[in-house]
Amino acid sequence: MADTTVPYSTGDSKIGETTIGEMRELAARYPEGRSALLPMLHLVQSVEGRITPEGIEACAAVLGLTGAEVSAVATFYTMYKRRPVGDYHVGVCTNTLCAIMGGDLIFERLKEHLDVGNDETTEDGKITLEHLECNAACDYAPVMMVNWEFFDDMTPESATQLVDDLQAGNEVKSPRGATICTWKEAERVLAGFPDGRADEGPTGGKATLAGLRLARERNWTAPAGAQARTTDDSRKED
Ligand code: FES
């Protein structure tokens, strides 16, 4: 079973001048520099593999915030990790719809197969397993994600094959097109430094677009009464 303690500091932070410069670049993209905090925290994860105390202090120094303020944000969102994440972050949706469609079973199977619990990393450092709440892809339930790329209509067998391929270093593609990179590489993209592969695969899948396709085929449009009224219109009627 993997170690579940939370290391405060690794003592070998990789946050240096290059990262600080990129943090300043991110801050300069916004009218208010502090708006860049979320992408900056992704940048920290892309360098450190997690949110480290050194990363928090660097964000605070660049933005003129306190470490406590940055920490409050970093510990609020589940996408920011206090423990080191493996090469691949594997999420299994166990929210209601995915759970009853097989998500619970997939999560149990993967815990056993990988010999880890929730939010733990395999001994080889390859995979961090986490159960996720709704990924807004319920039409493909049960859904998994690898480094936030979707894997649709999963089964315990396809989930096991997926993690085996990741651990073996085989090339893995999301059914929606994206080639799976490492978690740190994905975090750099989320920080706002594109890798040039944003348009791999379709942006909307078949199931998601089924309603739109039907509406077009049958020439359906929204009824006029459903259109939003302006605030002024509603005031006049009061
Ligand atoms: S319940 Fe799993 S994606 Fe919505």
Nearest residue to 81 (alpha-carbon basis) of 36, 117, 125, 46: 46
**pTM of this structure:** 0.84
% of the chain residues with pLDDT over 90:
77
| Among 92, 93, 208, residue to substitute to test ligand 1 (most atoms within 8 Å of Cβ) | 93
Model confidence band, residue 228 (pLDDT cutoffs 50, 70, 90)? low
Cβ of 138 less than 6 Å from ligand 1: yes
Biggest distance spanned by C-alpha atoms of the chain: 66
pLDDT in tens, 171-192: 999 988 889 999 999 999 999 9
Cβ of 94 less than 6 Å from ligand 1: no
| Among 138, 151, 208, residue to substitute to test ligand 1 (most atoms within 8 Å of Cβ) | 138
Model confidence band, residue 230 (pLDDT cutoffs 50, 70, 90)? low
Cβ of 92 less than 6 Å from ligand 1: no
Summarize the confidence of residues 196-223 as an average pLDDT: 85
Task: Determine the pLDDT at residue 188.
Answer: 97
The residue ranking higher by pLDDT, 4 or 170, is 170
List the structure tokens of 126: 């390859």
CA of 25 to the centre of ligand 1 (A): 35
Q: Which residue segments constitute the domains of the chain, with CATH numbers given?
A: 1-84 (1.10.10.1590), 88-182 (3.40.30.10)
Cβ of 154 less than 6 Å from ligand 1: no
List the structure tokens of 96: 């209601």
pLDDT in tens, 76-102: 999 999 999 999 999 999 999 999 999
Task: Determine the pLDDT at residue 184.
Answer: 97
Task: Determine the pLDDT at residue 4.
Answer: 44
Among the residue ranges 15-29, 112-126, 201-215, the one predicted with the least confidence is 201-215
Contacts of 102 (CB under 8 A, 6+ apart): 141, 142, 154, 155, 156
Task: Determine the pLDDT at residue 233.
Answer: 53
DSSP string, 79-138: TS-SSPP-SEEEEEE-SHHHIIIIIHHHHHHHHHHHT--TTEE-TTS-EEEEEES--S-G
Question: Is the per-residue pLDDT at 132 higher than 90?
Answer: yes
